Amino acid sequence: MTKRSTSRRQFLQTSSAVGASLLITGTHASGQVKGANERVRMAIVGVNSRGKAHIDGFGRRDDVEIACIVDPDQNVLSQRMSHVDKATGGKHKCRTETDIRKVLEDPSIDAISIATPNHWHSLMTIWAAQHGKHVYVEKPMSHDIAEGRVVVEAQKKHKVVIQHGTQRRSDAGIAGLHEALHNGTLPRLKIAYGYACKPRRGIGFKDPKSPPSNLDWTLWKGPAVLDAYHENLVHYNWHWFWKTGNGELNNQGTHQLDVARWALDPDQTHPARAMAIGGRFGWDDQGETPNTMFGVAEYPNGQYMMFNVRNWEHENYKTKVTNEYYLEDGSVIVGEGRYKIKRPGSDKFESLSLPRGKVTPGGNWASFITAIKANDPTLVNGGVEDAHYSCVVGHIINDSYRLGEEVPFNEKAVKFGDNADAAEHFLKLHEMMKKDGGLTDSANYNVGPWLEFDATKEVFVGDRADEANILLKDPTNPGFEVPSVSEV
C-alpha cells in the first residue's frame, strides 16, 4: 500500500479548524510489521494508572518495542520512564511525548495502546486508524453512542487491527460457556445478568483553580468541553463526571456488560429498549454518576440483560463482580470461566463441565500482537463491533438514568409491567439498600424512562426520543472534533 504523508503543519491546521470536523488524510504507516519475526513498535498513551499495566503487558514481550510513552502530565512521564525500564529490562529506547498527534505522524510507530480517560478513547482510535496505526483501546471504546459507530467504520475503511480492552474475551472458559449457549448444548438463555459491585468512596468537593504547570490542560481535556480545571478530575475521579467518564456501569461494568451481551443470541446487536433506576446514595460530594443502579435492557428476540451497580460500601456490603445466566428452563449458571449450575427443582449448584471455547491464545496482549503480525483484525479477542454493541447498551442505560426524575425511595418507585424477573431483581437490590444501607423514604431514587432504540439507525425513537438523541453525541472542543462516518 502507498502512504500519503501529512505534514505536522497540515495536521495542526486541520485539527485546529474552528467548527470543522477533523479529517486526517494520512493513510498507512510506512513502519508496518511485515513478518512474524519483526518487533511491533508501540506507543503507550495515558500512563498514569491503567497505562502501567499496558507497559507491563506489552513491554515484557520480545516481539514488542515500547518506542514512546505519551501523557499530558510531565510528572507522570518522568515517573513512568523508570517503569518502562523495569518492564523491558532496559532494552527499549523509549521517548516521551505529551501530544498524541506527534506520535501519529511518526511512520516508524506501528501501533498505539490507549489508557487515557474515556472521553479520549474514540478520537485517538479514529486518528490512529486514519494514520494506519493499529490500536489497543481500553474500555469503554466509546464515550457516547455516535463516536463508537465512527470507530467501527474507521476500522472497516482503514483495515487496521483494533482490540478492545475487555480481557475476558481472551478467556477460553467463558468462550466455551457462550458457545454452549449458542449451539444448543445448554437450554436457551433468558436473562444475562452482570454485576459491578466493588467499593468506592465519595470524592468530596474541589474548587476550580488553575491547572498545575506540569499538566497540559488543553491536551488533557482534548474533546471534552469542561468549564474549568479542578482536582477531582485529574487523575482518577474523572470517572464520576458525565463529560469525561461513564460512571461505574461503563467503567468496571464494561467487562460484565460485554460478557452479558456475548451470551445473548449471536444475531442480537442493540437492545430494543432499556431503562435505569438508581442514585448516588450516602455520599455528599461533587460526583454526578450513580453509585447504585439497576438497569434493564430488552432485546428484539425477547432476551434480557440486567445489571447491578453497587459502589456505596454500607453495612454487610459484599463485593460482587461477575455474571449470572438465567435459562428458559429455570436453570441458573454462576461463575467465571469455571461454572456451576442449579437445575430446575434443585436447590444446590453442581459443577458444569464444558469444552473450552475458541479464542486466540496467549491472553489479551498476545492476541493483539498476533492479529497485527497476521494482518488479520478478526484474530483479536474483542473487536470493534462487539466493543461497540457492548458499550452502547451501557450508554443507553446511562442515558435513561440521566433523563430520570426523583421519586421517594420505596418499592413502588418503578413499574416493570409484566416483567416479573425485573421486578424480583430490583426488589432484591431495594431491600438490601433499605436493610443494610439504612435508606428510607426520605431518600430519593432517580428513575429513568424506558428509552426505545432503533438498532439499524442507532437513534432513539418513541417517547423522550428528542431528549435522548441529544445525548447520542457529546459536544467537542474546536480542534478535537470527532469526524462523521462519511469523513472518516
Based on the fold, state whether residues 87 and 19 are members of the same structural domain: yes
From CA 31, how far away is CA 28, in angstroms rounded?
A: 9
- Do 157 and 211 fall within a single domain? no
277 lies in the same domain as 387: yes
pLDDT value of residue 444: 97
Q: From 150, 169, 188, give the residue that closes a domain.
A: 169
For residue 370, being part of any structural domain is answered with no
How much is the pTM? 0.93
Give the pLDDT confidence of 197-229 residue by residue, as tens digits.
999 999 999 999 999 999 999 999 999 999 999
Judge whether residue 7 has pLDDT over 80: no
- Please compute the mean of the pLDDT values over residues 452-470 and round it to a whole number: 98
Residue 206 domain flag: yes
CA 306 to CA 303: how far, in whole Å?
Answer: 10
Choose the final residue of a domain: 169, 187, 215: 169
The C-alpha angle with vertex 379 and arms to 376 and 380, in degrees rounded to 5, equals 115
Give the largest CA-CA distance in the chain: 70
| Residue 310 structural domain | 171-357+383-470
CATH number for the domain harbouring residue 14: 3.40.50.720
Mean pLDDT of the chain: 93
**CA–CA distances in Å: residue 135 to residues 63, 225, 368, 483:** 16, 25, 9, 18
Q: What is the pLDDT of residue 452?
A: 98
Whether 304 is in a domain gets the answer: yes
Residue 59: phi, psi to the nearest 5? Answer: -70, -25
Domain assignment present for residue 375? The answer is no
Within a domain: residue 137? yes
DSSP letter at 257? H
| Residues 129 and 224 occupy one common structural domain | no
Together in a domain, 103 and 140: yes
Span 144-188, pLDDT tens digits: 999 999 999 999 999 999 999 999 999 999 999 999 999 999 999
Cβ–Cβ under 8 Å, residues 449 and 400: yes
Does some domain include residue 481?
no
- pLDDT tens by residue, 390-441: 999 999 999 999 999 999 999 999 989 889 999 999 999 999 999 999 999 8
Same domain, 113 and 178: no
- Asked, for residue 373, whether it belongs to a domain, the answer is no
> Which pLDDT score is estimated for 16?
37
Q: Which three cell numbers stand for residue 161?
A: 487491527
Q: 76-90, 103-117, 365-379, 464-478: which range is least confident on average?
A: 76-90
Note whether 186 and 130 are same-domain residues: no
Among residues 169, 188, 204, the one where a domain terminates is 169
pLDDT value of position 34: 52
Q: What is the pLDDT of residue 417?
A: 86
Count how many domains the chain has.
2
Confidence at 38, pLDDT banded by 50, 70, 90: confident
pLDDT at 92: 86
What's the pLDDT tens digit per position in 44-55? 999 999 999 999
| Residue 281: strand, helix, or coil | coil
Examine the domain organization and report whether 157 and 192 are in the same domain: no
Quote the CA–CA distance of 169 and 364 in Å, as a whole number.
8
Distances in whole angstroms, Cα of residue 359 to Cα of each of 57, 98, 168, 174, 260 = 18, 35, 10, 10, 17
Regarding whether 250 and 186 lie in a shared domain, the answer is yes
In this structure, the answer to whether residues 213 and 256 fall within a common structural domain is yes
Q: Is the pLDDT of residue 351 over 90?
A: yes
Q: Which pLDDT band, with edges at 50, 70 and 90, does 22 fall under?
A: very low
Q: Does one domain contain both 204 and 323?
A: yes
- 389 domain residue, yes or no: yes
Given a cut of 90, is residue 25 above it in pLDDT?
Answer: no
pLDDT value of position 37: 61
pLDDT at 464 over 80: yes
pLDDT at 136: 98
The whole-number pLDDT of residue 91 equals: 83
Domain CATH code at residue 430: 3.30.360.10
Question: Which pLDDT band, with edges at 50, 70 and 90, does 189 fall under?
Answer: very high
195, 165: one domain: no
